[in-house]
Chains A and B, each alone.
Chain A
């Protein structure tokens, strides 16, 4: 596999993130104000799957932090996952913080005040291929398709910003909630986890100029997420969650392969391209988000009756990413990325792009299949994958008393 994919690369362009939809996760404490506006709530922690993976709506702020695991043996590793579980469950449910005698340092940074308000906070814990090396004797339990993300054709992967033993994905309505959670989680695990890389960003849920779907716009200016896997549990079961029937170690059931790609967008170059070219490259109208030749964002493109690419070029991004054929149906993935911006480069250009995230039942039939189709697309000129990694999002913790990775370490 590595050989064939090493010549390819992937883009995360148009079409990220399931739009709107109803609340997926049972127990998500979502309320509505008298005026009908959605109020922030607590996301239930317990479940067969980690609830943050598919919770809707996707929160406005996101962060991924990759760590090197320092635990020296299985016992320390299990202790680390127990600590993470306890801290995440507490953070997600708004557990009151301990108040200590003032002679002690406070147990939290205090940046959210004495009683952190509900803010749709969720945390997802994923593990990288390197956790299954010889350190903890887990080699035989490695998810079958989990390898270190190969260097793909268009990639300029920075090793300092790629891969990792463990990845935390934190999402919430506001940036301070995200930072608070990260700091608390790190404080709890300072002996066993050390940072490798961090990226954060935003995902404005209702994009300016959009009509109703709430799809965010990416930094290329296009609506992104229109054709994402929605919240239908049947679809998620088919495309996202590893099933007990899959040819995988038993502990993986309920988890999901987790691909992360830090894709720099060369926005200066892109912004100088004619609108017609931009739209032909993406396969959508920029303003409305509608597929070329259609009127509304949610209109389904009819590629079958456009075999020559007269309306939508054959190499347009949305056409390659999702050809909407029966054969490619199994390649659907759940995208949960966010836009990032992190200063500027040596040439004085803004360093920004998409922190692409996809969850899928199989990397081979999900991310890698899509990436293979996108290889050589015209959009490649305007993007540059610089980091990320392949991870496996652990199965959820069904009930109190259990902890993340319990099956992996059993």
Chain B
């Protein structure tokens, strides 16, 4: 599955909102959200972006550190240790996924699913999911070492790219919405981690990454549209409560649905996430997405 990332926004950022934008709707039947709040120059937005830049750098370091634990285990042929390190290595990646996606080609190399290829044996099928396929579907570490080393190299390149990246304020603002949509489209179906069933780790990390963005934008949103902010916060509370119910040990239950499109009888002897729970989360995600999509507009970031 390909994701819609924010590369286009890089080009759009310098276009600060033209003065006429909010004013030329005289003959339009506008109601409600037509005024803009602060601009990208606003001190509150600037502070948020600076904070986010820092967060992204931290997470990128984490990606490399945790993935090394994972890939070292793969190379050492320690299957159980490799499996145990897989989901944690993805968490920091999933927290900043829309930003990581700004680094050209990194997403395709490290996080593509098998659907983007003719089959799992395609040599271009690399990254976490190729390793996931080998470790779970094939049940071995044999043949996995070269993909582990490739992942290390690609992530090193990602870190280098991110360190050069100046995060566009609009990309940050839209990133929260992208993260939640990522969950609605890919995680809730169980297609992301279909072999390992660790989808809920990714799910929770996407949500954390989105929450972080809103936390940083809190002062700016408080000023621009406190009502929207309250709705977003209550949306996150609902989602967090749903996730909390699925916690187990240090992580989450495996994502075992009824009538799973990707059955894995060994991992999923029983349903752990009921259809009712999934339906509830679908509504929570979609409702939150609608609100998050308004954030760039409310902050005057286009």
Chain A contributes a number of interface residues (CB within 8 A of B) equal to: 18
A100-108, A300-308, A326-334 - interface stretch: A100-108
The answer, yes or no, to whether B139 is at the interface (CB within 8 Å) is no
Known: A70-B280, A103-B36. A98 touches B30 (CB 8 A): yes
B residues in contact with A74, CB < 8 Å: none
Closest Cβ of chain A: how far from B278's Cβ, in Å? 9
B residues in contact with A105, CB < 8 Å: 293-294, 297
Rank and list the top 4 A-B pairs by shortest CB-CB distance, nearest first. A191-B287, A104-B297, A99-B28, A190-B286
A residues in contact with B296, CB < 8 Å: 103-104
Q: How far is the CA of A68 from the CA of B300 in the complex (A)?
A: 36
Known: A98-B30, A190-B289. A103 touches B297 (CB 8 A): yes
Interface residues of A in 74-96 (CB under 8 A from B): 96
**B279 interface neighbour in A101, A103, A194, Cβ under 8 Å:** A194
B283 touches A192 (CB 8 A): yes
**A98 interface neighbour in B21, B29, B280, B283, Cβ under 8 Å:** B29
The answer, yes or no, to whether A187 is at the interface (CB within 8 Å) is yes
Q: How far is the CA of A193 from the CA of B298 in the complex (A)?
A: 26
Footprint of A on B, CB under 8 Å? 17, 21-22, 25, 28-36, 279-280, 282-284, 286-287, 289-290, 293-294, 296-298, 300-302
The answer, yes or no, to whether A97 is at the interface (CB within 8 Å) is yes
A residues in contact with B293, CB < 8 Å: 104-105
Q: How far is the CA of A194 from the CA of B178 in the complex (A)?
A: 20
Q: How far is the CA of A187 from the CA of B290 in the complex (A)?
A: 8
Known: A96-B29, A187-B290, A190-B289. A102 touches B21 (CB 8 A): yes
A70 touches B283 (CB 8 A): yes
A residues in contact with B286, CB < 8 Å: 190-191, 194
Which among B286, B290, B294, B298 has the greatest number of chain A C-beta atoms within 10 A?
A: B286
Q: How far is the CA of A193 from the CA of B300 in the complex (A)?
A: 30
B residues in contact with A102, CB < 8 Å: 21, 302
Closest Cβ of chain B: how far from A208's Cβ, in Å? 41
Q: How far is the CA of A68 from the CA of B22 in the complex (A)?
A: 38
A17-55: CB near B (< 8 Å → 1, else 0) gives 000000000000000000000000000000000000000
Known: A70-B279, A105-B293, A105-B294. A100 touches B287 (CB 8 A): no
Known: A105-B294, A190-B283. A100 touches B21 (CB 8 A): no
A103 touches B287 (CB 8 A): no
Q: How far is the CA of A158 from the CA of B252 in the complex (A)?
A: 32
Interface residues of A in 161-194 (CB under 8 A from B): 187, 190-194
Known: A190-B289, A193-B283, A194-B283. A104 touches B294 (CB 8 A): yes
Q: How far is the CA of A193 from the CA of B283 in the complex (A)?
A: 7
Closest Cβ of chain A: how far from B26's Cβ, in Å? 11
Q: Which label, helix, strand, loop or mixed, suits the secondary structure of the A interface? A: loop
B290 touches A100 (CB 8 A): no
Footprint of B on A, CB under 8 Å? 68, 70, 96-105, 187, 190-194
A103 touches B283 (CB 8 A): no
The chain A residue sitting closest to B235, CB to CB, is A191
Q: How far is the CA of A100 from the CA of B294 in the complex (A)?
A: 11
Which among A68, A187, A192, A194 has the greatest number of chain B C-beta atoms within 10 A?
A: A194
B35 touches A101 (CB 8 A): yes
A103 touches B301 (CB 8 A): yes
Known: A190-B286, A190-B290, A193-B283. A101 touches B31 (CB 8 A): no
Closest Cβ of chain B: how far from A115's Cβ, in Å? 10
The 5 listed contacts between A and B (C-beta, < 8 Å) are A99-B28, A99-B34, A101-B22, A190-B283, A193-B283
B residues in contact with A193, CB < 8 Å: 283
Q: How far is the CA of A99 from the CA of B21 in the complex (A)?
A: 12
A residues in contact with B29, CB < 8 Å: 96-99
Known: A190-B283, A190-B290. A101 touches B28 (CB 8 A): no
Which among A98, A101, A190 has the greatest number of chain B C-beta atoms within 10 A?
A: A101
B30 touches A100 (CB 8 A): yes
Q: How far is the CA of A194 from the CA of B284 in the complex (A)?
A: 10
Q: How far is the CA of A193 from the CA of B284 in the complex (A)?
A: 10
Closest Cβ of chain B: how far from A405's Cβ, in Å? 19
A residues in contact with B32, CB < 8 Å: 98
A residues in contact with B301, CB < 8 Å: 103
**B30 interface neighbour in A68, A70, A99, A194, Cβ under 8 Å:** A99
Closest Cβ of chain A: how far from B23's Cβ, in Å? 10
A residues in contact with B284, CB < 8 Å: 191
A residues in contact with B287, CB < 8 Å: 190-192
Known: A190-B286, A191-B287, A194-B282. A99 touches B25 (CB 8 A): yes
Q: A101-B35, A191-B287 are in contact. List 20 more A-B contacts (CB 8 A).
A: A70-B283, A98-B29, A98-B31, A99-B30, A100-B34, A101-B22, A101-B33, A101-B34, A102-B21, A103-B297, A103-B301, A104-B293, A104-B296, A105-B293, A187-B290, A190-B283, A191-B284, A192-B287, A193-B283, A194-B283
